[in-house]
Structure 1
C-alpha cells in the first residue's frame, strides 16, 4: 500500500465515522468484519441472525495480492469485531486497522492450529537453507484440513461470545452443529480418497499442504512454486516440473478458481497431461459460487478423485 493511499484511507475513516449504526439490520446485531471468504462463512454459521457480517475479500479474489479499498476501511472503522485467518495471510490488515482507528477486538482464528513450515515445494528445494533460518514462513492455508477448521470456528465462537455475552447460548449451539458438519466432511473426504490408487497432485500454487497431509496425497509440484501467488517458475524449474510430472505418472494439473490457468495449460501440454480448469477448478484460496466452505471442500475432493481415479 502506498503512503498516499494510507493517508486517503485515514481521512476516509475520519469523515465516514458518522455513518456508524445506520445498517439496515439495526444496532442490536454485532457488527463483524471477516477478512477471507472462508472466515466469513465460518462467522455466518456461528453468528446467524445475531450478527451483521461484512466480508472483505470477495470470491475468486487472490488474498495474497489484495489491497484494501476505502469501503474496507470504513467497514473496519464501524465494526466491533474483526475476524482474520491469521498466519500472515492478511499482510494488509494491521495497517488497515490502524488507518481505520479500529478499537474493537480482533479474533485470530488460527490460534492453536499446528502450522506447517513453508510449503511442499519450498521445503524440497530449500531444506538446507531453512535449517539456518529463523522465523520460517508458515503455510497460511490452514482451513484445507477440516480438523483445523474445527479449531478455527471454536476460536471464532469464543471471540464472538466475549463481544456479545448475551448471545452465548446461540453461538455455542451453532458451534456444536457446525463442528458436526465438519466431522462429516472430514470422514467423507477420507472415505473418498481411500479408494484412490493414484494420489499424485499438481496444483496452480502450493495451497493444499494441509489437505495433502491430512489425506495422505503425494504432492508432485505447483505451477507457482510458492505459498503465495507472487512467484514464477524459472525456465529450469519449469523443465524440472514437466520432467517430474512425466516421471511420477501424475495425471493432471489442477487449476484454481482465483488464478489464471494459462501457465498450467502450457506445462500440461509439455508434460502430456490434462488441465482441470473452468467449473472444475479447485478452490484453493477462495470458495465456490454459493460461498460456503463445506461445498468448496466437497467440490475439491470430488474433482480430484474423479480426475485421478478416472
Structure 2
C-alpha cells in the first residue's frame, strides 16, 4: 500500500506539473521578446514597451558597440525575437551578418531612421557618417517614434498602451532638453569647448552650441604611448581647451602629468556609446544625459572664475 501511495503521489505531482507548465509558458509569452543592439536602445524600448516587452540587449552596459564580438547566445536571442532594434548609421557593422546567421525573421527597426546625419570620423581615408545621433535629445525623440511604430506593428492590440507611454516619455525628454539648455547657459560661451578621447558628441555639440575636439592619433582602445601623450599635450595647448575628458586613460599619474603640462582641467567620465550598469550614474538615457551635463558644468564653470 505504501508503494502504491508513493506512485499515486508521484502521479499527482506529475499531473500538477503538466497542468501548470503551460500556464506559466502562456504568461511569459504575453511579453514580446525584443532584441536591442546596445543599452541605450534597450532603455528606449523598455520606456515605451513597459511590462508588455522583454528586452534583451546584445552589447552590455559599459560595452563598446563599435568593436563588439557577437556570441552564439546572441544569435539564439535574435532567432527568438519578435522585434529587433538597431541604431543604423553604420554603427553596428556586425549586425547584418549576425541576423543572417541567426535565421531571425523578426522585423528590424532602424531607430535612427529620419535623423539628419553628420559627418563622422575618418575611416580608410574617407569621411564616414557619425552614428551617435542619440546625443541630441531631439534625435532621441525620433528614435522613440521609430521604436513605437515597430512595437505597434508587432503588437497592435497594445498600441494605445505603447502610445500613452511614449507621450509620457516624450514629455520627460522635453523636460530634459530644457534642463540641459539651462545648465549650458550657466557655462560661459568661451568655455563651451573640450577635448574628449572619443568623437561621439558631435550631435550634442550641434544641438547645444558646444565644441568637442577629439585628440589626433589617440586610440580609444588602449593607454597612449609616451609619444601619444606628448602629442596630446601639444594639441591641448594649441586648442586652449578649458577641460579634457580622457576616458581611456586610467593611470592617475599619467592624468596628473597631462593636467600639469597642458595647464588644463581633467574632467570626469562622460558616457557616450553605452549606459552604466543599473547601480551606476547613467543607468538610463535620461540619467546619462543628466550625468554628462553635470560633469561638464563641474569642469567648465570653475575654470571661468
CA contact (8 A) 2:39 2:57 kept: yes
Following superposition, the deviation at residue 246 of structure 1 comes to 1.8
Does the residue aligned with 1:138 lie in a helix, a strand or coil? Answer: strand
Tell me which structure has the larger Cα radius of gyration: 2
List aligned pairs for 1:173-188, cutoff 5 A.
173-188=164-179
Where in structure 1 are there 5+ consecutive unaligned residues?
Answer: 1-20, 131-135
What is the CA deviation profile of residues 12-43 of structure 1, one whole-angstrom value per residue up to 9, with x for unaligned ones?
xxxxxxxxx99796111211001111000000
Following superposition, the deviation at residue 221 of structure 1 comes to 3.0
List aligned pairs for 1:101-120, cutoff 5 A.
101-119=103-121
How many residues matched? Answer: 272
TM-score normalised by L of structure 1: 0.79
Aligned position for 2:291: 299
CA contact (8 A) 1:252 1:268 kept: no
CA contact (8 A) 2:199 2:212 kept: no
Aligned position for 2:147: 156
Where in structure 2 are there 5+ consecutive unaligned residues?
Answer: 1-22
Runs of 4+ deviating beyond 6 Å: 21-24, 231-237
CA contact (8 A) 1:32 1:51 kept: yes
What is the CA deviation profile of residues 70-113 of structure 1, one whole-angstrom value per residue up to 9, with x for unaligned ones?
22111111111110111111111111111111011000001000
Distance 1:81 1:296 in 2: 25
List aligned pairs for 1:17-166, cutoff 5 A.
26-119=28-121, 122=122, 136-166=127-157
Q: CA RMSD in A?
A: 2.8
TM-score normalised by L of structure 2: 0.80
Aligned position for 1:170: 161
Following superposition, the deviation at residue 274 of structure 1 comes to 3.5
State yes or no: 1:274 paired with 2:276. no
The structure, 1 or 2, with the larger RCO (C-alpha pairs under 8 Å, 6+ apart) is 1
